[in-house]
Amino acid sequence: MLVQMFKVMFHEPCIPPNTGNAIRMVAGTGCELHLVGPLGFELSEPKLKRAGLDYHDLASVFVHENLEAAWASIKPTRVFAFTAHATTSYADISYERDDVLMFGPEPTGLSAETLADPHITSQLRIPMLPGRRSLNLSNAAAVATYEAWRQFSFDGAV
């Protein structure tokens, strides 16, 4: 039996294919995807559906009107906000079940106001070569999710 692992949160996502890719990723990992509005697209967007292929029915996706509504619904214990401006590497964290892995909108990332939210436990970065702004949103979410899941020996995977 698969035990629910992590919650991946996209705060105000703008690009439908990134969210579609994340839907496919959470379907494959047993995580939840929390989309926090306002969204920059309609959930019926063809590019979102195409990127998610036929995984929409296998994914746990929740849509929240805003961040306050998301916090009220999720009631998080630990929230890791991913930002290129952090100094702590995502690989230096010992993840726990139900951790929230939070990512900001493309192309700006999480705002200073959002990063100051008291729910955020820590800000994390994914290392990359100097002079690079950031990874693609869905790629960054996959990198972080798979590291967290790896720490649980890929519980439930075949």
Q: Residue 51: what pLDDT? A: 52
Per residue in 68-107, pLDDT (tens digit) is 999 999 999 999 999 999 999 999 999 999 999 999 999 8
Residue 82 in tokens: 């991913």
Question: What CATH number did the domain enclosing 113 receive?
Answer: 3.40.1280.10
Asked if residue 157 is part of any domain, the answer here is: no
Asked if residue 156 is part of any domain, the answer here is: no
Asked if residue 140 is part of any domain, the answer here is: yes
pTM of the model: 0.93
Asked if 124 and 80 touch (Cβ cutoff 8 Å), the reply is yes
Asked if residue 22 is part of any domain, the answer here is: yes
Domain count of the chain?
A: 1
CA 152 to CA 95: how far, in whole Å? 9
**Residue written as token pair 């991913």:** 82
Length, in residues, of the chain:
158
Asked if residue 155 is part of any domain, the answer here is: no
Asked if residue 116 is part of any domain, the answer here is: yes
Asked if residue 93 is part of any domain, the answer here is: yes
Asked if residue 139 is part of any domain, the answer here is: yes
Containing domain of residue 79, as a range?
Answer: 7-150
Q: Residue 45: what pLDDT? A: 65
